[in-house]
Chains A and B, each alone.
Chain A
Amino acid sequence: MNSTVLMFLALYFIGMLAVGVISMRRGGSSSMEGYYLSGRNVGPLVTAMTMQSTSMSGYMFLGAGSLGYTQGYYGFWYAAGDIGGGVVNLSVLGRRMRKLSQIMGALTSIEYLEKRYPSKWVRLIAAVLSVSLLGAYVLAQFIAGGKGLELVTGLPYEVALAIAVGVILAYTLMGGYGAVAYTDLLQSFVMIIGIVWILVATLQEVGGLTAANQAIASIDPTLLSIWGKDLVHEGQWGIVLGALLIFSIGYMGWPHVVTRHMAMRNPFHARRAGVYSTLWNLVFVSAPYILGTLAILVLPDLDDPEQAIFALAQNLLPAAVVGIVMAAIMAAIMSTADSILLQTGSIAARDLYERFINPNMEEKQMVRVSQLIVLLLGTVCGVVAVFEPPAIFSIVVFTTSVLGSAFLPAYVAAVWWRKANTPGALASMIVGSLVAFFWQYLALDGVTGLHPMLAGVVLSSLAMVVASLMTQASHPVPEHILEAMEETAELRPLPRPLKAQQSFEMAHEALTLKLSERTA
């Protein structure tokens, strides 16, 4: 491997660690709100970029390129929904979720669900689902990180994996959410510079997009169609429209993505963050699919389609720029891995350990426990990743659909529907996760022509509506939650009394304390 490429990668890793140190010095791990949400002090640009780079994993450089290479423009169905995913999320949930989460004193997106739908079962089911599914996702990203670095540096897989996991763990432990968000910002810049550079070079190589499309048509005109090579997906509207819709609204159901709303400095930042998201997505999201398709002309005999973008970079760019593209691939993987690792660790610590096992911890103690669980989780996933469990990527396919189907109606209804109650949320989570899981496990998409997540989201939304309406009399939404929702709808800063009480009156720690005082 060229020394210039290695130098760029080393600089990139040092940059990530430096952000971790800065976040730690700014108090990122001195309090629970600091560690989990960076003190709710994140601006609109960082909010938008951490949301986007977290949503876009290493898949964008490996899987998306492969899809373009093998199926041509059919891959654009996947890009089309993705472009609007950020702005939909921020416009529907952003301001309201930020405000409601602060009023209720929620520090994790799972704790937020219990505060809005008061029941320990909501928290237990949501936390167990999140930790198990996101844990598998962390594992897959670690494997991708190790393989990516192995590919770039030529180091043995085990050594490459240890470096990638070590760097991610170091800055996540040091600075918590602040470190993750600001490294994500840097990583989003690296990702976009890398993808644009390789796109420009490739377009120059093939003589422009029109000339390239004409050349592709002469090889196989079906590659230019929306139905894929040999029109194999022709007429599968339930699948492609499902993919389009789900990638635009599905992010609203991912606990590690919606946490970004809760960490905004100001609820009104959602407006500007939405614009930044769209601008970034317009440039970034389509590029990997175009590159994969153009690689058909530049590298017609590629053995492994997943290497399409990597091979384009190696063939068309000078060594220094290849270093940037390689750093971009690592950035895509690491920006997802760090966010999920932190969220999984936080949920395990806050929503399982503290909530159900040891609720009487001091704040500093809780931060240390969270860091310990993140370290433990990262280490376990790192060790398991050495053995590259064969089924792990299949599990990840389940992960996104199951999470989205389980939580999307619960998060949306939490801020928009006053009648959404605890039985509705429980029914929605259970129905959504089971339907999405078994739809894929039993391959029902092939039989019904419906995307698993589309089926999951539709049925979990129905479950939310039906169960909530049927149980309004027996399980009315508590008055303090309705008041909080009314305040959330107002276009004004939080009243001082709510700010003063937010971390106490509605927090489960406070309720536990009050209960123990009463019984004493």
Chain B
Amino acid sequence: MFGLPVSTTWLVIGVPVFWVLYTLGFLWVTRGWPGLKNSESGR
């Protein structure tokens, strides 16, 4: 892809994709956290 060797493509594209998945996973795991509007007084 983009004229790069396979290993470089994994580094350039694969690792950022991993972090996107990690972030989505974080959102999924924390889906039970109170909504911000409901917890504004949660300080």
Contact = CB atoms under 8 A, between A and B. Distances in A.
A12 interface: no
Given A267-B42, A272-B36, A493-B43, A226 B8 contact: yes
A224 interface: yes
A495 B33 CA distance: 17
Interface range for B: 20 to 34
Contacts of B4: 73, 213, 224
B1 to A, nearest CB: 8
Counting chain B CB atoms within 10 Å of each CB, the highest count among A80, A209, A274 belongs to A80
Given A80-B15, A493-B39, A271 B30 contact: yes
Contact of A76 (B5, B11, B27): B11
Contacts of A244: 15
A73 B33 CA distance: 40
A266 B43 contact: yes
A266 B40 contact: yes
16 contacts: A76-B11, A80-B15, A83-B15, A209-B2, A211-B3, A224-B5, A224-B8, A225-B5, A225-B8, A226-B7, A266-B40, A266-B43, A275-B23, A278-B19, A491-B32, A493-B42
Nearest to B42: A493
Interface residues of A, number: 42
A268 B36 CA distance: 7
Contacts of A267: 42
Contacts of A73: 4, 8, 11-12
Interface string B24-43: 00110010111010011111
B29 to A, nearest CB: 8
B34 A87 contact: no
Contacts of B34: 268, 491-492
Contacts of B3: 209-214, 217, 224
Contacts of A211: 3
Contacts of A275: 23, 27
Contacts of B19: 83-84, 87, 278, 281-282
Counting chain A CB atoms within 10 Å of each CB, the highest count among B3, B5, B32, B33 belongs to B3
Contacts of A499: 43
Given A80-B15, A278-B19, A492 B27 contact: no
Nearest to A272: B36
A134 B7 CA distance: 37
Contact of A271 (B15, B27, B41): B27
A278 B15 CA distance: 12
Interface of B: 2-5, 7-8, 11-12, 15-16, 18-20, 22-23, 26-27, 30, 32-34, 36, 39-43
Interface class of chain A by DSSP? helix
A274 B22 CA distance: 10
Interface string A240-277: 00001000000000000000000001111101101100
B41 A493 contact: yes
A102 interface: yes
Given A269-B36, A494-B43, 13 more contacts: A44-B36, A91-B26, A210-B3, A213-B2, A225-B5, A225-B8, A244-B15, A266-B36, A272-B36, A274-B23, A275-B23, A282-B19, A499-B43
Given A209-B2, A213-B3, A271 B26 contact: yes
A472 interface: no
Counting chain A CB atoms within 10 Å of each CB, the highest count among B16, B23, B33 belongs to B23
Contacts of A84: 18-19, 22
Interface string A65-92: 0000000010011001001100110010
A266 B42 contact: yes
A80 B8 CA distance: 12
A440 interface: no
A102 B43 contact: yes
Contacts of A80: 11, 15-16
A115 interface: no
A274 B26 contact: yes
A95 B11 CA distance: 31
A282 B13 CA distance: 11
A244 B12 CA distance: 13
B13 to A, nearest CB: 10
A286 interface: yes
B40 A77 contact: no
Contacts of B33: 95, 268, 271, 491
B41 to A, nearest CB: 6
